[in-house]
Amino acid sequence: MASEREETSTTSSDKRQRYIRVYFDNIFTKEKQEELERLLVQFQADNCLPHRFVEKGSTVRQFTFLNRACATALPKRKEMTRILDKYSHVEEEEQLVALKHRMTSSAIFGTIFTFGLFSTGSTDDGLAIGEQMESVMQDVTAKGCEIGAVVRDDAGQCDRARRILALRHPRIAFIHGFAHDINNLVKSVLNTSFRTLTKQASLATVTLNASSFKCMLGCFASLLRVENALRQFTA
């Protein structure tokens, strides 16, 4: 008798929400469920739908009309995030494999790889930089690679080195790279007064959000008292 009461109390105290699909056996096998999830992701992507479309009444009514068993297999909105993460990882791996195959079979763009990392040395004039670049180019050519172009920015004496090498190797295109210029532009923009202004505004917003309601009331009350005192002082 006591055990029956304990079971009854345990059942009555269970406040968790239950879905109707809990009381039925699995409609689909694991493979069929994964196939349904894959088709749902494709349907969502083709129609640009949000995650919550699986919980819309129209979606459930559509699946119920087609097959009542399918409606119970529809995932919830939170489960769609897990499904998307799973299949996006698979898609990324397939795209990387396809990209590797294209890069391997495509010869029109040449071969892209990291040849090596070399020390710069203490000399940074144009002639020294040109000699170092030329030695690297000779090593690359000796390895059986054909050089079609060399990209270098204008930092320091690199512009002069590029002009020297362009005269010595007329069959190679020496191209100016804009990476260093873009970095300098970004630094100049971030060092303006706009950066200081946005930083102060961000700090004020963070301070206000972190303050309690009572502290805010006290601050504004103090400001009002100061304002009234200044008005009386100037009157």
Q: Are residues 93 and 34 in the same domain?
A: yes
Question: Domain for residue 170, yes or no?
Answer: yes
Q: Are residues 30 and 69 in the same domain?
A: yes
Q: Are residues 165 and 225 in the same domain?
A: no
Question: Domain for residue 213, yes or no?
Answer: yes
Q: Are residues 34 and 88 in the same domain?
A: yes
| Cβ-contact 126, 157 below 8 angstroms | yes
Closest CA to 174 of 161, 157, 184: 161
Question: Domain for residue 10, yes or no?
Answer: no
Q: Are residues 164 and 202 in the same domain?
A: no
Question: Domain for residue 83, yes or no?
Answer: yes
Domain containing 202 equals: 192-234
Q: How confident is the model over 79-111, as pLDDT tens digits?
A: 777 777 776 665 555 555 554 444 444 434 455
Q: Are residues 151 and 83 in the same domain?
A: no
| Cβ-contact 174, 149 below 8 angstroms | yes
| Cβ-contact 172, 150 below 8 angstroms | yes
- With a cut of 80, say whether residue 74 has pLDDT above it: no
pLDDT value of position 141: 85
Question: Domain for residue 12, yes or no?
Answer: no
Question: Domain for residue 53, yes or no?
Answer: yes
Structure tokens at 23: 């009381």
Residue 25 to residue 231: CA distance in whole angstroms = 78
Please state the domain count of the chain: 3
Q: Are residues 88 and 34 in the same domain?
A: yes
Between these two residues, 89 and 135, which has the higher pLDDT value? 135
Question: Domain for residue 112, yes or no?
Answer: no
Q: Are residues 164 and 203 in the same domain?
A: no
Structure tokens at 54: 């699986």
Q: Are residues 38 and 93 in the same domain?
A: yes
Q: Could you give the 3-state DSSP secondary structure of residue 153?
A: coil
Q: Are residues 162 and 227 in the same domain?
A: no
pLDDT value of position 101: 45
Q: How confident is the model over 7-66, as pLDDT tens digits?
A: 444 444 556 666 665 665 666 788 888 888 888 888 877 777 777 788 888 888 877 776
Mean of pLDDT over the chain: 71
Q: What is the mean pLDDT of residues 173-178?
A: 81
Q: Are residues 173 and 145 in the same domain?
A: yes
Question: Domain for residue 75, yes or no?
Answer: yes
Q: Are residues 25 and 94 in the same domain?
A: yes
